[in-house]
Amino acid sequence: MREAIRGLRWLLAALMLFCALAQAQAPLVMSGDAATHALAPHTTYFHDSDGRADIRAIETSLRAGRFRPLPGDDASFGFQPGAYWFHVSLLNRNLQEPRWLLVQQYALSDRLDVYVRYPDGQLFHQAGGDHLHFEQRSVRYRHPNFQLDLPPGQPADLFVRVESQSSMQVPLALYTPTAFAELSRDAQFAMGVYYGILLALFTYNLVLWLTLRDASYFWYMFHISAFGLVLFTLYGLGFEYLWPHSPWLADKAVPLSICLAQIGMQQFARNFLGLARRWPLGDRIGLGMIALFVVLGVATTWIPIRLSTQLAVVAVILSVAWIAVEAVVAMRSGYKPAKLFLLAWSMFLAGIAMVAMVAFGALPKNFVTEYSVQIGSALEMLLLSVALGYRYASLRNENERIVRESRDQLEIKVEQRTGELRSALEQLEAAHLRLREFSQLDGLTELYNRTHFREAFEHLLSQARNSQQPISLLMIDLDHFKRINDTYGHLVGDDCLRWTSNTMAETLRPYGALVARFGGEEFIAALPDMDLDEASNVAEELRQRLRDRPCRSGDLDIPISASIGVHCVDIDKNSIDSALQVADQALYTAKAEGRDCVRTL
């Protein structure tokens, strides 16, 4: 009875396998003469649009004939919703290799589920992708990989479920451990060569930037670093080495690094081509591109990864094409380094275009399309480095030409300019002296003005402190001067001010006084080496002379009187402002007590 049941079970398993094989591609037979097998020619697929089907439902769909062969043996479908299921019938006839490594040769898939169904009904499941931590992979490698036990001579069904917000690219291959070791060695060597080139170019241009301080070299280094980060992310090295425990960064790093690289590209192109001078409109559009990528980079932190990646890819195509347009315009304006720049950019443009077309499923994934960015960018960066050197040489030759022409004309111009300069200096010196004198004097009365008085009084006050000799201030205000202006007019008032200043000069300068017009009809005088009594006597003398001698203006004799405040400065305590304030208070006392008098405080 048991043997009958066991036989029935084997018969059912064989029937299930027969039905599956009938709907599938030809089974993959792994013989002893091949260590690597691409699964695409033997793969059928099913698009689970809502992503809810489990393995049992998928096996039912396989038996129902819903799986289809890959179109053109290409497992690239662009950006698609839901999940894709892939099925391969396997038969291992390699007696030396019971264990194989399944590798998904695309680094950015979010989630992969691998199922192996054996003839006895056992189901083996493994999970991978960059939404799981990196150490969960069977082998530490940038591409998702899974160890499969495939006993020789025993058929098995392989199901792979892939769900991803990025481009749906599922190039699957089986490797023996030895073949995979060789693959990983060669791939790491190729990556090492590529990043070695980038590092050498970065170091070389870093030295040039530090030496020449040319901003073009800085932005070239920024471009190299940012684009190196893009490829580091796209090919799974970022997830392997930089953020192995962060699925969030594994998703967001792709559009973020693309935006950062484009900012560097646009800024380098603007600077290298001199767009601000040669094409201002193009320069403004370039700045707009930079702003677009800044906004997109910020937006990628919260918008869905599928949308942000598609936007970034489309924006990259537009950005790179626009830089080519800028190069053409600069070249047509006669800028020779733009030719090398355009050639370099054409290499890069071709590589970017191929990757974008693979991402959208327009081109098959093969060696050329997979590594087109590395090939194009390496050539581009080498040519850009040459272009920078050519640009620097052109600028140096132009500067040398300008220097030669300037040197030829310099001797002629020097003698001419020396004579002109000598004459100008003489005139300037004379004008400076006149200006200095004018800046010290009041234009109407030809007495010193208020500003010069303050500067000179500071000096007199310092001398008084050093010699411990007294110094006094007279604050003088003409009485009822407004009445003179209102009665006789301002011209007569000006005559009165000039007459008053002359009288003050005649009276006070014999005493060594510093006399100035303080403002309007107010005057001020500093009397060095005089105490309060002596200064009061001099003030009274001045008041009398003003009172006794009327001002003559035309046919008019106009009587003039003045109120005078006297203050002896405390040289140890008073500043110029406090001394002026006390003298002013004494003046107001004189005016309050009837005017035409001298008062002290």
List pLDDT tens digits, range 79-131.
888 999 999 999 999 888 999 999 998 888 999 999 999 999 999 999 999 88
Of 140, 135, 139, 172, the closest CA to residue 247 belongs to 135
Confidence at residue 352, expressed as pLDDT on a 0 to 100 scale: 67
Q: Is 90 exceeded by the pLDDT of residue 46?
A: yes
Confidence at residue 12, expressed as pLDDT on a 0 to 100 scale: 46
Q: Is 15 exposed, middle or buried (0-12, 13-18, 19+ CB in 10 A)?
A: exposed
Pairing status of strand 471-478 against strand 111-117:
unpaired
User: pLDDT-based confidence at 20, cuts 50/70/90?
Assistant: very low
Torsional sign, CA 291, 297, 303, 308: positive
> How many angstroms separate the first and last alpha carbons of the chain?
139
Contacts of range 494-501, beta carbons closer than 8 Å, 24 or more positions apart: 494/444, 495/551, 495/553, 496/551, 496/553, 496/558, 496/560, 497/444, 497/445, 497/521, 498/444, 498/445, 499/551, 499/552, 499/553, 499/560, 500/445, 500/546, 500/551, 500/560, 500/562, 501/445, 501/446, 501/447
Q: What distance in Å separates the CA atoms of residue 601 and residue 439, rounded to the nearest whole number? A: 33
Cα-to-chain-centroid distance, residue 273: 19
Q: Is 532 exposed, middle or buried (0-12, 13-18, 19+ CB in 10 A)?
A: middle
Are residues 204 and 236 in contact, defined by beta-carbon separation less than 8 angstroms?
A: no
Q: What distance in Å separates the CA atoms of residue 501 and residue 493, rounded to the nearest whole number? A: 12
Of 283, 263, 281, 264, the closest CA to residue 273 belongs to 283
Q: Which amino acid is at 337?
A: P
> Which has more pLDDT, 405 or 174?
174
Span 487-514, mean pLDDT?
91
Of 51, 32, 319, the closest CA to residue 152 belongs to 32
Q: Is 60 exceeded by the pLDDT of residue 195?
A: yes
Q: Is 80 exceeded by the pLDDT of residue 368?
A: no
Confidence at residue 21, expressed as pLDDT on a 0 to 100 scale: 42
* 3-state percent helix, strand, coil for the chain, nearest multiple of 5: 60, 15, 25
Q: Residue 532 half-sphere exposure, CB side, CA atoms within 13 Å?
A: 14
Predicted TM-score (pTM) of the model is 0.56
Torsional sign, CA 574, 580, 581, 586: positive
Confidence at residue 5, expressed as pLDDT on a 0 to 100 scale: 46
Biggest distance spanned by C-alpha atoms of the chain: 156
The angle subtended at Cα 130 by Cα 125 and Cα 132, nearest 5°, is 55
599: Cβ contacts below 8 Å, ≥ 6 apart:
563, 564, 565, 566, 586, 587, 589, 590, 593
Kindly state the tokens that stand for 593: 């007590």
Which ranges in 365-521 belong to alpha helices (H)?
A: 367-370, 372-440, 450-467, 481-488, 490-508
Span 555-562, mean pLDDT?
91
Q: What is the mean pLDDT of the chain?
A: 85
Lowest mean pLDDT among 42-51, 192-201, 421-430: 421-430
Lowest mean pLDDT among 117-121, 286-290, 427-431: 427-431
Q: What is the pLDDT of residues 199-249, one digit of tens each?
A: 887 887 788 788 878 888 788 888 888 888 888 888 888 888 888 988 888
Q: What distance in Å separates the CA atoms of residue 4 and residue 160, rounded to the nearest whole number? A: 34
Torsion-angle region of residue 236: left (phi > 0), alpha (psi -120 to 50) or beta? left
DSSP state, residue 550: P
Q: Which amino acid is at 114?
A: V
Confidence at residue 445, expressed as pLDDT on a 0 to 100 scale: 87
Are residues 86 and 45 in contact, defined by beta-carbon separation less than 8 angstroms?
A: yes
* CA dihedral of residues 106, 108, 113, 118 (deg, nearest 10): 10
Are residues 257 and 230 in contact, defined by beta-carbon separation less than 8 angstroms?
A: yes
Q: What distance in Å separates the CA atoms of residue 167 and residue 162, rounded to the nearest whole number? A: 11
Q: Is 70 exceeded by the pLDDT of residue 601?
A: yes
Confidence at residue 160, expressed as pLDDT on a 0 to 100 scale: 97
Are residues 38 and 104 in contact, defined by beta-carbon separation less than 8 angstroms?
A: no
Pairing status of strand 76-78 against strand 168-169:
antiparallel
Torsional sign, CA 310, 316, 322, 324: negative
Kindly state the tokens that stand for 523: 């005057």
For residue 564, the surrounding DSSP H or E stretch is strand 562-568
Which ranges in 274-371 belong to alpha helices (H)?
A: 275-278, 280-299, 305-332, 337-359, 367-370
Q: Is 60 exceeded by the pLDDT of residue 6?
A: no
Confidence at residue 575, expressed as pLDDT on a 0 to 100 scale: 84
Q: What distance in Å separates the CA atoms of residue 599 and residue 578, rounded to the nearest whole number? A: 18
Q: Which amino acid is at 375?
A: I
Q: Which amino acid is at 248?
A: W
Q: Where are the beta strands (DSSP E) in 220-326?
A: none
